[in-house]
Structure 1
Amino acid sequence: MLDAKRIVVKVGSSSLTTAAGGIDPARVRRLVDVLAAVRARGAEVVLVSSGAIAAGLSPLGLARRPRGLAAQQAAASVGQGLLVHRYTEEFARHGLVTGQVLLTVDDVTRRAHYRNAHQTLAQLLDLGVVPVVNENDTVATHEIRFGDNDRLAALVAQMVHADLLVLLSDVDGLYDGNPATPGTTMLSDVRGEADLADVKTGSIGAAGVGTGGMVTKVEAARIATGAGIPVVLTSADNASAALAGERVGTHFHATGKRRPTRLLWLAHATEPKGRLELDAGAVRAVVSRGASLLAAGLTGVEGNFEAGDPVDLVDPDGRPVARGLVNFDAAEVPALVGRSSRQLRDDLGPGYGRVVVHRDDMVIL
């Protein structure tokens, strides 16, 4: 951990605010002091911070997080400015400049948006800025339920090619059950899915202002470790010890290898717009031989998509085996099903002889 040169730290709402809502200045200051110490030893830091909606509750006189979307967006509008202002002041005490980066699902699912977000974050880090990332809750719809920023933090870690992801919560690690139940045990290390077989996760939170729980944190850890990025899950109170390399919390060891950002984006940051149904031969060609998908291997199509959209490739039993960027609109695909490239070129023109999904635009699930 001490060798990590670029670290993404995610902190949840309940670790920054009071139970009644509103920012807790002492908690923010302690967190910033820890992150500034990491910067002082030469590592770069990206902070993914929840808390905009929670920070807006008290100024608006709201006793708890509202259920209505419009009220949540209003609270985010008020709270986001307060949250970033607090971070700006606290980091300035250490001579550090912060930059606000607000993202929505589109920014990590649409290729052009993803590339722009990646370039912005890279430039901020090159300039010595501490990026403070949050969802753009003011204009978001279902994004507000994006997983308490846990999944977003894992995607940001991939986006900036981080060496480490630290998830700070109000629980000191991953337990095999509810930590409030006697007899449960905290897992110190998770090296693969087998270590999670007996774990029962749920929404665990003390302050009642966050949205996530251990389910979203484990999902985020899977995404990051599958891309070669180790993860530490612990409480905000243990942030200093964790970032100093002490054995606190739960360590999720990297299970995969680093892959091109483009494939990480495709595997974890996209929602399929439809499904392409493959015969058994096409499944073998795509999965085992790394081949492109040809029209001859298609048996059907579902969904409403355009050329360039992500789609799932499913086997004869309907199970997704790959995801890729399709080269045809959904309306065009039925005419391609089961036909060879030569037939398509002869009957429909040279433009229809291309592959349906190129192997360079595909990732095996």
Structure 2
Amino acid sequence: MSTPSTVTRREDLARAGRVVVKVGSSSLTTAVGGLDAARLGALVDVLAARRAGGGEVVLVSSGAIAAGLAPLGLRKRPRDLASQQAAASVGQGLLLAEYARAFARAGLTVGQVLLTAEDVVRRTHYGNAQRTLERLLSLGVVPVVNENDTVATHEIRFGDNDRLAALVAHLVRADALVLLSDVDALYDAPPSTPGASRLATVRGPEDLGGVTVGSAGAAGVGTGGMATKVEAAGIAVAAGVPALVTSAALAGDALAGADVGTWFPVTATGRARRSTRQLWLAHAAAPAGRLVLDEGAVRAVRQARSSLLPAGVVGLSGRFRAGDPVDLVDGNGHALARGLVNYSSEELPDLLGRSTRELARQWGPAYEREVVHRDHLVLLGR
């Protein structure tokens, strides 16, 4: 396994040993769906050259749903989950086959890795995914990773492959993450605006003050946009992995360390890597509900980083099951933490404000447990 990243400047990308590269649907497909073999081949040529030079590459590729649109006679990306899953089922095979053909021209083999959020946050799944990716890399294979759209539900989806790529970069302890789309960099205004300037480096939220970050493009084949790339870069940096955001057309220059795109370096606070579970909770998990904490519980969670006990919960909202992510909020509704809850929204009302010892006496030892354990909790805004 690679050591923590020593890439501190964009120039260091030229010598990075292991890089995760994510490419978006709009960079691989036509506006009406279907793969653009020329554009996909151009990207593969860049990545194959990197492999020939001794570097390791993990490719996180969108495009399965978009590739399935034309064969199914769909004009744009469907909104309902079942149709998305059907398009992914058709398109994923087409996408991997095209990658296999393109990489084969350079004498390289690809391996498909389909992941859901559970695969990077549940310990046993995490270990399996990590071992598979490491073994593929050791065998000289180029892993092609995508979200398993054919089975992922709304509750267990990453939401976008940008977030998936950031978590994969942490999973494989990459030296850098490169996020590719059809926009060459982050700008201080829409790129088409006269006088818009490229943001060459973003060291933290303060560098984004007043910047409007765009959403998915007009083609309607993707789900991301610059907003999710900025968020994904933040996830990577929090994991100790620097990130670069640029266009697929500039992939070769980016991997050579040229002054292109927007660079997100790892700051001093980002050098201590969070666990993948914490990264997912903080940045990618959609909360299923909210728990309102009293003042004592707020202090215990925020300052002492303690587990949340039933006695400290004064209210709740939403519908959730045991194991779902929920936000922990103060009396003013401000979210201070997110964690995996140990009780459902049906069970919890009868437990509020009561001690675990009292609950255990009444209902048995199974109720002598935390509402959210500190190991499954992450503070927000840090």
What's the CA shift for 1:111? 5.8
Per the alignment, residue 293 of structure 1 pairs with 308
* Separation (CA, whole Å) in 1 of partners of 2:374 and 2:157: 33
* Aligned residue in 2 for 1:165: 177
Distance (whole Å) between structure 1 residues aligned to residue 88 and residue 348 of structure 2: 42
Tell me the residue number matched to 1:89: 101
Q: Is the 2:116–2:158 contact (alpha carbons within 8 Å) kept by the matching residues of 1?
A: no
Tell me which amino acid in the other structure corresponds to 1:40.
A
Q: CA deviation at 1:204?
A: 5.9
Q: CA deviation at 1:3?
A: 4.1
Distance in 2 (alpha carbons) for counterparts of 1:10 and 1:146: 14
Alignment match, 2:36: 24
Task: For 1:1-365, list aligned pairs within 5 A.
Answer: 1-60=13-72, 64-67=75-78, 69=80, 72-108=84-120, 113-139=125-151, 142=154, 148-203=160-215, 205=217, 209-255=221-267, 256=270, 257-365=272-380
Structure 2 CA distance for aligned equivalents of residues 269 and 114 of structure 1: 16
CA distance in 2 between partners of 1:292 and 1:311 (Å): 14
Counterpart-to-counterpart distance in 2, 1:326 and 1:78: 36
SS of structure 2 residue aligned to 1:79: helix
What letter corresponds to residue 52 of structure 1 in structure 2?
A: A
1:65-96 alpha-carbon deviations (Å, 9 max, x no partner): 25464655444333322221111112122222
| CA spacing shift, 1:261–1:150, aligned 2, 3 Å | closer
CA offsets, 1:165-217, max 9 Å, x none?
Answer: 10111111001111112111110000010111121122364755333321222
Give the TM-score of the pair, scaled to structure 2. Answer: 0.84
How has the CA–CA distance of structure 1 residues 207 and 160 changed in structure 2, closer, same or farther, with 3 Å as cutoff? Answer: same
Which one-letter code corresponds to 2:115 in the other structure? L
Take 2:112 and 2:165, find their aligned partners in 1: how far apart are those partners? 15
CA distance in 1, matches of 2:302, 2:136: 38
3-state SS, counterpart of residue 263 of structure 2: strand
Distance 2:160 2:344 in 1: 34
For the 8 Å contact 1:104–1:143, the answer to whether it is kept is: no
8 Å CA contact retained: 1:108, 1:270: no
Q: CA deviation at 1:121?
A: 2.6
Q: Distance in 2 between matches of 1:206 and 1:236?
A: 17
1:322 & 1:68 partners in 2: Cα distance?
31
Please report the TM-score for the alignment, with normalisation by the length of structure 1: 0.88
Q: 1:317 to 1:38 in 2, by over 3 A?
A: same
Distance in 1 separating the partners of 2:84 and 2:323: 33
SS in 1 for 2:146: strand
Moved more, 118-127 or 312-321: 118-127
1:112 Cα shift?
5.2
Deviations 1:309-348 (CA, angstroms, capped at 9, x unpaired): 3322221112221122333343333333222344334444
CA distance in 2, matches of 1:97, 1:181: 43
- Report the count of equivalent residues: 364
> Structure 2 counterpart of 1:360, which letter?
D
Residue 312 of structure 1 contacts residue 324 of structure 1 at CA under 8 Å; is this kept in 2?
yes
Gap change, CA 1:227 and 1:144, over 3 Å in 2: closer
Q: Amino acid of the residue matched to residue 164 of structure 1?
A: A
Mark the runs of 5 or more structure 1 residues left unpaired by the alignment. Answer: none
Q: Quick one: distance in 2 between partners of 1:297 and 1:187?
A: 44
CA distance in 1, matches of 2:155, 2:214: 20
* In 2, Cα distance between equivalents of 1:57 and 1:326: 38
User: RMSD of the alignment, in Å?
Assistant: 2.8
What is the identity percentage for the equivalent residue pairs of Structure 1 and Structure 2?
67
Question: Does the 8 Å contact 1:276/1:298 carry over to 2?
Answer: yes
The one-letter code matched in structure 2 to 1:84 is L
CA contact (8 A) 2:26 2:181 kept: yes
* Further displaced range: 320-329 or 166-175: 320-329
Alpha-carbon deviations, 1:98-146, whole Å to 9, x = none? Answer: 1112234554566654554344333323333211112334455659996
